[in-house]
């Protein structure tokens, strides 16, 4: 039966990891997968995570099934982190949150949930969006279409075109927004632009699905949730997918959350029952370890402060890398304007070179980035930035 299979191409993002690891070049640079790296290129375990794991080891008493909702304290704390503890939707008991295997697990739960709400719903994603969004939703049988977003020529948002498209979207459809740190462009909506988007969402009546994979990597934990909080305050129904991979550095623990905001608590309970059904049919129940770490941190004022401080170190380093790359390119005689990189937010930007140049950077200079020229800014360091800038200057 397997003889009819055709091999699939390697994943455009994850496939780079294998190639990078096999590369023997002494100056190789990894700007591929979106993972935080410290100045020596290591992805560390946060100190607050180490403390929480020790507490967990000392206090855990059972490994019995956790159940499809996952951990109740984690779900509660994640809702508060995303919406803010005193948000009206939490006070009105309109939110139901489940723990999921990573942010991708949250998106898949959302996809199957949407399919049960409206089998014909179209999911609208920004052009461009995270490379896995389209495949993930299509795998759940959902039609995916795009709305204009990034202006590659001017390195800005196509905001007017985006609004014009949103103004035509049907009330039975779903529109996916990135809460912050837009992946792959690094181009975020300003607070004023979010206000406009919220207004259109209410007017058109479609359901917003917000993907928040980088809370705390843009301007701060609360600042990055501006759109989520404004949207939740204004709409009747909404879906939020969160990830703890990046902001807690828990990539391999696979922990995230999917929250449904419904018009009232009765509807929220029905929505939760449907989510639990779809979860049971996909993976039965989520892993417990990552949730236990996060709830230990968020549930302790001291550990939460420590986490916020460690998150700020990561955020500041990435922002510093942005400026460092722009300066180093200029220092290496590149006269093209790369200042947009310093203005963008989060883990990624498009370098703006063409696919042939991306290929040369990889083959001749061992500089790895996604084919779209998306670079993971965290992979830059004081040690590699000069080599990186010289390599980019050479291909330009």
Judged by the rule CB under 6 A, the positions of this chain that interact with ligand LMR are: 13, 33-34, 130, 132, 183
**CB closer to ligand LMR, 34 vs 208:** 34
Tell me how crowded residue 378 is: count the other CB atoms within 10 A of its CB.
25
Q: Could you tell me the smallest distance in angstroms from the CB atom of residue 317 to ligand LMR?
A: 17
Instruction: Round to whole Å and give the CA distance between 209 and 195.
Output: 16
Q: Could you tell me the smallest distance in angstroms from the CB atom of residue 132 to ligand LMR?
A: 6
Q: Could you tell me the smallest distance in angstroms from the CB atom of residue 33 to ligand LMR?
A: 4
Q: Could you tell me the smallest distance in angstroms from the CB atom of residue 310 to ligand LMR?
A: 20
Those residues with Cβ within 8 angstroms of residue 306's Cβ, 6 or more apart along the chain or in another chain: 47, 48, 51, 297
**CB closer to ligand LMR, 68 vs 256:** 256
**CB closer to ligand LMR, 155 vs 246:** 246
Instruction: Round to whole Å and give the CA distance between 127 and 40.
Output: 34
By Cβ distance, which residue is nearest to ligand LMR?
Answer: 34
Catalytic residue among 158, 246, 345, 362: 246
For every residue of 363-374, DSSP letters joined together read HHH-EE--TT-E
Instruction: Tell me whether residue 246 is one of the annotated catalytic residues.
Output: yes
Q: What is the dihedral of CA 289, 291, 292, 298, to 10 degrees?
A: 150
Contact present, 126 and 149 (Cβ < 8 Å): yes
**CB closer to ligand LMR, 306 vs 372:** 372
Instruction: Round to whole Å and give the CA distance between 187 and 343.
Output: 8
Instruction: Tell me whether residue 211 is one of the annotated catalytic residues.
Output: yes
Do you know the residue count of the chain? 396
Instruction: Tell me whether residue 130 is one of the annotated catalytic residues.
Output: yes
Helix (H, G, I), strand (E, B) or coil at 352: coil
Instruction: Round to whole Å and give the CA distance between 69 and 272.
Output: 9
Catalytic residue among 37, 112, 130, 158: 130
Instruction: Round to whole Å and give the CA distance between 145 and 138.
Output: 10
**CB closer to ligand LMR, 183 vs 319:** 183
Catalytic residue among 30, 112, 211, 224: 211
Q: Could you tell me the smallest distance in angstroms from the CB atom of residue 47 to ligand LMR?
A: 23
**CB closer to ligand LMR, 69 vs 245:** 245
Q: Could you tell me the smallest distance in angstroms from the CB atom of residue 73 to ligand LMR?
A: 26
Structure tokens at 235: 């709409």
Those residues with Cβ within 8 angstroms of residue 70's Cβ, 6 or more apart along the chain or in another chain: 98, 99, 100, 257, 285, 286, 288, 291
Going by C-alpha positions, the residue among 330, 341, 337 that lies closest to residue 389 is 330
Instruction: Round to whole Å and give the CA distance between 47 and 270.
Output: 40
Annotated active-site positions, please? Answer: 130, 211, 246
């Amino acid at each position: 039966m397997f003889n009819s299979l055709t091999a699939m191409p390697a994943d455009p993002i994850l496939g780079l990891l294998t190639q990078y690891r096999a590369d023997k070049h002494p100056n190789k640079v990894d700007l591929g997968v979106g993972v935080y790296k410290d100045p020596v290129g290591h992805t560390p375990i946060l100190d607050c995570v180490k403390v929480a794991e020790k507490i967990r080891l000392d206090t855990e008493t059972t490994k019995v099934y956790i159940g499809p909702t996952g951990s109740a304290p984690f779900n509660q704390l994640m809702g508060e982190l995303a919406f803010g503890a005193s948000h009206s939707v939490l006070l009105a008991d309109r939110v139901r949150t489940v723990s999921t295997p990573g942010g991708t697990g949250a998106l898949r739960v959302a996809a199957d949930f949407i399919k049960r709400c409206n089998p014909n719903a179209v999911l609208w994603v920004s052009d461009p969006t995270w490379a896995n969004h389209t495949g993930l939703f299509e795998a759940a049988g959902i039609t995916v279409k795009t709305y204009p977003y990034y202006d590659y020529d001017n390195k800005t948002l196509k905001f007017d075109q985006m609004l014009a498209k949103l103004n035509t979207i049907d009330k039975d459809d779903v529109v996916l927004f990135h809460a912050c740190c837009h992946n792959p462009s690094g181009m975020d909506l300003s607070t004023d632009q979010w206000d406009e988007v919220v207004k259109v969402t209410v007017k058109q009546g479609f359901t917003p699905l917000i993907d928040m994979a980088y809370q705390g990597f843009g301007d701060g934990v609360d600042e990055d949730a501006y759109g989520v909080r404004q949207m939740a305050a204004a709409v009747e129904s909404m879906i939020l997918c969160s990830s703890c991979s990046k902001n807690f550095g828990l990539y391999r623990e696979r922990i995230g959350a999917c929250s449904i905001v419904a018009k009232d608590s009765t509807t929220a309970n029905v929505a939760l029952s449907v989510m639990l059904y779809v979860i049971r049919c996909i993976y039965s129940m989520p892993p417990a370890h990552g949730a236990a770490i996060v709830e230990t941190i968020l549930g302790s004022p001291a550990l939460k402060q420590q986490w916020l401080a460690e998150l700020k170190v990561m955020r500041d380093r990435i922002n510093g890398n942005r400026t460092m790359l722009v300066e180093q390119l200029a220092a290496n005689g590149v006269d093209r304007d790369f200042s947009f990189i310093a203005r963008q937010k989060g883990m990624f930007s498009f370098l703006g070179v063409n696919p042939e140049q991306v290929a040369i950077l990889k083959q001749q200079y061992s500089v790895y980035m996604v084919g779209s020229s998306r670079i993971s800014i965290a992979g830059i360091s004081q040690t590699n930035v000069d080599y990186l800038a010289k390599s980019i200057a050479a291909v330009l």
